[in-house]
Structure 1
Amino acid sequence: MDKHFSRFILKALAAATLLNCAGMAAAAEADYAPVTDARLKNAATDDGWLMYRRDYTSRGYAPFKTIDTSNVANLKPAWDWKSDFDMGHEAPPIVNGDYMFVTTPKNNLIAFQASTGKQLWKYEHDLSEVGLKTICCDVVNRGVALYGDKVYMATLDNHVVALDAKTGKVIWNESLNAADVGYAMTLAPLVVKGKVIVGVSGGEYGARGFVEALDAETGKQVWKQHTVPLPGEPGGDTWPKGAAETGGGAAWLTGSYDAETDTLFWGVGNPGPWLATLRPGDNLYTDSVIAMNPDSGKIKWHYQYTPNDTWDYDGTNETVLTDITYKGKEHKALVSASRNGWFYAIDRNDGKLIYAEKFATATSITGFDANGKAITDPEKRPTVDKEVFTCPSFLGGKNWWPISVSPDTHMAYVPTLHTCMTMKGAAVSYKAGLPFLGETFLVKRDPAFPNHWGSVQAIDLNTGKQAWEFPSELPWNGGMLTTAGGLLFSGSADGYLYAFDAKTGKVLWQSPKMASGVLGVPSTWTVNGKQYVGVFAGWGGGVPIWGGEMAKDPKVRNIPLGGHLYVFSL
């Protein structure tokens, strides 16, 4: 062969190789589809699971039918992964295409191939200089948000970190507040119209709560809305002089968004200190849902679940957007199963109460006046001289673990606790970084449920009444997931993922025994037409720490710890 021709062939081959390599690299980058505003708005129909509760309505419902009531019994483990921590694992798998993102306690963030479990990258947030002494109820994290080609995580030391979704490289890292003085963040961010929106924890430490929006590209603050107003601000007159500055009102769970009315909804937690005699008044906007303008954070309206809360009933539970027909009238509603033991339907356009029905034993709140304001029993209010017995306990009829709403059955599915408590007032003064409670308490068994600490129950959305119940001897702390396949998925404290018939509550499948009890929130996604269901097992959170007689129950005390992610498919 002519040597000049040989050189030509070699150069051509080299050029082709370079082009091929460049093409492969471009293809590798191209397989991560940017998460646009349009995709977030239409997340309900996406093949992935793009945000904490799948879409802006927070329903926790997926339209997938590959796994259904006829074949769910054939569900098998697809892959699994063990984390480095033996404590509460609460985050759902967040999936875009074949990329999965999960967070662990202490702010590790790991990316996997969603279909195989191959680890792609890992980010470990540096907490070495942080004492974490003001983190309430375990050093947990509830997941990430996606936007563009970035993934966002809020941290225990009050940072929001943006990383390249394909590589894990840090793009920006913004500090919102100092650590170890009462503030922390454990929630999954929510992205709305190019803004990364987060809320702060710290109601047990006298932190003054806030919701904050950051520019998704730069991390710079766009707005900050405090949840406890100061004197002279709307609602400021519901606090005694000097109390609002340490008034609590943490906003520690992810909100919802109504694109039709351009309204952001966020739950607000308990006031501080816990003992209400120290802060007479309604104490807005604690124990409330607030409706905000997502462009400015300005509050449009509020509804308060528990005025002048003295039982730590919070109002942070997820705000689920759904349409209901109540007594023949159609409503654009927001529904929530509150810690105070009542299931609420609220008009999401104006904040007016549609109905409230008990879903657990509830003695602190006895009913509602003509304006929809809760009526509380003064005999159930503790003082420094009076101990009370009341229901539910401060852990709530339901704690943070989310409900799901199915448009197919028109039911809400509620992970329920059956506990009461004794509570008594105590002297307290505020000091930054120390607990700010003013009450002693002990969780006890609900006398109406002598044989089980928890249950899964379905609630008819049009009436607020129970449709079916699955009792559990152990507390039920797993989040809920429903699908168009007629299924309800949720994990149990003794380490199983269950699939229920969403209409009847019949158990159709139970996973192999997992390494630990489930606190995690399940999610589901499809890759190349194959449907997967994933959940974290990893017992921890508030129940082992504050669970009183429930935590001392040998069957609860012996729930094994250990973080382990499980993925199932047919």
Structure 2
Amino acid sequence: MFGLQACAKAPTAAADAAKPAAAAQDDGGYPLVTDVRLQNAGNDDGWLMYRRDYGSSGYAPFDTVNAGNVAQLKQAWDYTSEFDMGHEAPPVVNGDYMFITTPKNHLLAFQASTGKLLWKYEHDLSNAGLKTVCCDVVNRGVALYQDKVYMATLDNHVVALDAKTGKVAWNEKIHEQDVGYAMTLAPLVVKGKVIVGVSGGEYGARGYVTALDAATGKEAWKQHTIPMPDEPGGDTWPKGAAETGGGAAWLTGSYDAETDTLFWGVGNPGPWLATLRPGDNLYTDSVIAMDPATGKIKWHYQYTPNDTWDYDGTNETVFTDIDYKGAKHKAIVSASRNGWFYAIDRTDGKLIYAEKFATATSVTGPDANGKMQTDPALRPTVDKEVFTCPSFLGGKNWWPISVSPQTGLAYVPTLHSCMTIKGAEVSYKAGLPFLGESFLVKRDPAFPNQWGSVQAIDVNTGKQAWTFPSELPWNSGMLSTAGGLLFSGSADGYLYAFDAKTGKVLWKSPQMTSGVLGVPSTWKVGGKQYVGVWAGWGGASPIWGGEMAQDPKVKGIPLGGHLYVFSL
């Protein structure tokens, strides 16, 4: 059974920000989030952005909570939300201020040390149909800059609010609603620009990344992910296909200050059925490297050319320096939906290696030039159904990995599933699904007793270092720390602390009130370390999960958002 937890401890003091030594303050004591602080976010006492730092590491250099004392971790405070959809955002923390989002674009501000609710913003979605929001009405968090907090919304707005009061500073619409576009990602702020990408690959949207001025909300640039015929890459599409070509950019990117390069993942092409759009279909299923001042694409690497399995390429790109076969590289690593773990040179986009981390049958691996190849026999048509692995949910979906410089390991929330998939006739109509395929998620025969696992991959080799099997799907993000720990939440409602080197379970929380889909984060206030995570089952797995969603143990996972914060 899923257990109920104690109510939040009664707060005894108003918000009093614990001030990082180098952080300037505004008149109200809020530590300003400057460009310098964002560039050094990995060393901050807070958790200043979606994946902690510009390199998307999900790693904190904190060891107050460590392998020796994590068994003493206790609940510090909690909060119950009003929604029973998927809760996917990490706590974002600056000083003693925490900001976290819920489904349907509510934004909550707490005192991070006590759980006192400071303010609440509810974005008005009363006129939004939300019919073109794929895979639950979720939100993955906020960005911080100066004295403001930024959220992207389901009806295609970006909202800037005063971080201390919740007062709206500006509210800018970037696209019409209910026509196939939505936004569910956490923004990324780089050099005074708030950068976001759109969802909508299942609705014939033409994806793009756009940058807004952080002070005013005015558009600075817009870069489409699907080129038109007269643009570089436009010849990889048949005539007329680019306008509805998909390529949604629905997860948060990374930024390399050393080369002044923005990296962003690009999603699946539309429609799903590839026989309708022969060619590589750039820049779908790719990572693109962009100039953050203009959005201009510098280079790309494509994970799955001419994707017909919804394998996407939006997964986070994590920076790490690796030594592969005696050669040192400044790399980005990514665990792709297609079941392959990639290391790519982040200076030029050249493939270093690609290794399977899940059963992968349709995508067969790179050729001598580093271009990924696929199996023609496993491509569906309107006359042919195929069985292939992984399923469209991927070897890993949006749930972020973490890379620890302490261990040299990448930690991957892994899904073990396959699918049957068959082509179907389809035509485009704005606001309606644009798939051209039917599908059913099935068990992976190689993993008959588990839907998921947590696995550690050596970034220098791409090979598995350890694995922790799970009978249920594992849909929570990863958090690693200098305390030798890896934190992640399970679908049956526990927050786990693993030994980051071996995978041994060192602690797990009392059972929470719902399964964990959220992304854990950690922060320090007054020298005390906290770990926080949303419980709140939902997302794509229970909606589109086929046989997995119908598994009685998966169907039995209770819903309801509940934020838990732990400390020693």
TM bucket, shorter chain? over 0.9
Shift of 1:436: 0.1
Residue 320 (structure 2) aligns with: 322
Paired residue for 1:41? 39
Give the Cα separation in 2 of the matches to 1:438 and 1:189. 31
Using the alignment, how far apart are the partners of 2:527 and 2:257 within structure 1?
A: 29
Structure 2 counterpart of 1:390: 388
Partner of 2:110: 112
Partner of 2:506: 508
For residues 88 and 195 of structure 2, the distance between their equivalents in structure 1, rounded to whole angstroms, comes to 19
Q: Give 1:492's aligned residue.
A: 490
2: CA distance between counterparts of 1:210 and 1:368?
Answer: 27
Check conservation: 1:29, 1:166, Cα contact below 8 A: no
1:294 aligned residue? 292
The CA deviation string for residues 164-191 of structure 1, in whole angstroms up to 9 with x for no partner, is: 0000000000000000000000000000
Task: State the SS of the aligned residue for 2:332.
Answer: strand
1:204 alignment partner, SS class: helix
Alignment partner, residue 403 of structure 1: 401
Q: Structure 2 matches for 1:304-453, cutoff 5 A? A: 304-453=302-451
Deviation at residue 31 of structure 1 after TM alignment: 2.2
Preserved CA contact (<8 Å) 2:472 2:492: yes
Match of 2:475 in 1: 477
Query: What amino acid maps onto 1:271 in structure 2?
Result: P
Structure with higher helix content: 1
1:103 maps to 101
Residue 227 of structure 2 is matched in structure 1 by: 229
For residues 481 and 312 of structure 2, the distance between their equivalents in structure 1, rounded to whole angstroms, comes to 29
Aligned twin of 2:3:
none
The answer for the alignment partner of 1:74 in structure 2 is 72
Candidates 188, 197, 200, aligned match of 1:199: 197
Give the aligned partner of residue 17 of structure 1. none
Q: Does 1:134 align with 2:132?
A: yes
CA distance 1:278–1:169, shift in 2 (3 Å): same
CA deviation after TM superposition for structure 1 residue 367, in Å = 1.7
Equivalent position of 2:520 in the other structure: 522
User: Aligned to 2:252, what secondary structure does the other structure show?
Assistant: coil
What is the DSSP-based 3-state SS (H/G/I as helix, E as strand, rest coil) of the residue aligned with 2:382? coil
| Amino acid aligned to 1:197 | I
C-alpha distance in 2, partners of 1:146/1:79? 23
Query: Secondary structure of 1:78's match?
Result: strand
Aligned to 1:252: 250
- Identity among equivalent pairs (%): 85
Partners of 1:30 and 1:506 in 2: CA distance: 45
Deviations 1:300-343 (A, max 9, x none): 00000000000000000000011000000000000000000000
Opposite residue 249 of structure 1, the aligned amino acid is G
The answer on whether the counterparts of 1:386 and 1:425 sit within 8 Å (CA) in structure 2 is yes
Q: Does the Cα contact within 8 Å between 2:237 and 2:281 map onto a contact in 1?
A: yes
Per-residue deviation, residues 411-432 of structure 1 (Å, max 9, x unmatched): 0000000000000000000000
Aligned equivalent of 1:218, options 213, 216, 219: 216
Deviations along 1:66-108, one digit per CA (max 9) or x if unpaired, are 0000000000000000001011000000000000000000000
Equivalent residue letter for 1:474: L
Aligned equivalents of 1:409 and 1:367: distance in 2? 27
Superposed CA deviations along residues 381-433 of structure 1, whole A, max 9, x for unmatched, are: 00000000000000000000000000000000000000000000000000000
Among residues 174, 177, 180, which one is paired with 2:175 in the alignment? 177
Corresponding position of 1:279: 277
Contact 2:26/2:147 (<8 A) preserved: no
Q: Secondary structure at the match of 1:48?
A: coil
- Contact 2:475–2:490, Cα closer than 8 Å, also in 1: yes
CA contact (8 A) 2:315 2:334 kept: yes
- Give the length in aligned residue pairs: 545
* CA offset digits 1:333-365 (Å, max 9, x no partner): 000000000000000011000000000000001
Secondary structure of 1:334's counterpart equals: strand
AA matched with 1:274: W
1:15 corresponding residue in structure 2? none
Deviations 1:432-491 (A, max 9, x none): 000000000000000000010000000001000000000000000000000000000000
Q: Which residue of 2 aligns with 1:562?
A: 560
1:162 pairs with 2:165: no
Matches of 2:229 and 2:314 in 1, distance apart? Answer: 24
- TM superposition shift of 1:509: 0.2
- Per the alignment, residue 125 of structure 1 pairs with 123
Q: Distance in 2 between matches of 1:206 and 1:320?
A: 29
Q: Structure 1 residue 371: deviation in Å?
A: 1.1
SS in 2 for 1:498: strand
Query: What is the Cα deviation at residue 370 of structure 1?
Result: 1.1
Q: CA deviation at 1:29?
A: 4.4
Unaligned runs of 5+ in 1: 1-26
CA contact 2:26–2:32 (8 Å) conserved in 1: no
Match of 1:261 in 2: 259
Letter of the 1:214 partner, please give it.
Answer: L
CA gap of 1:28–1:463, structure 2 versus 1, over 3 A, is closer
Matches of 1:491 and 1:372, distance apart in 2: 35
Superposed CA offset, 1:182-219 (max 9, x none):
00000000000000000000000000000000000000
- Once residues 399 and 236 of structure 2 are traced to their aligned partners in structure 1, the CA distance between those partners, rounded to angstroms, is 30
Cα separation, 2, equivalents of 1:444 and 1:29:
57
| Structure 1 residue 57: Cα displacement | 0.4
Residue 28 of structure 1 deviates from its aligned partner by 9.2
* 8 Å contact from structure 1 (residues 380, 390) kept in 2: yes
Residue 30 of structure 1 and its aligned partner are, at CA, apart by: 3.6
Equivalent pair of 1:498/1:509 in contact (CA under 8 Å): yes
**What letter is aligned with 2:104?**
K
**Structure with bigger gyration radius:** 1
Which one-letter code corresponds to 1:562 in the other structure?
A: G
Letter in 2 for 1:551: A
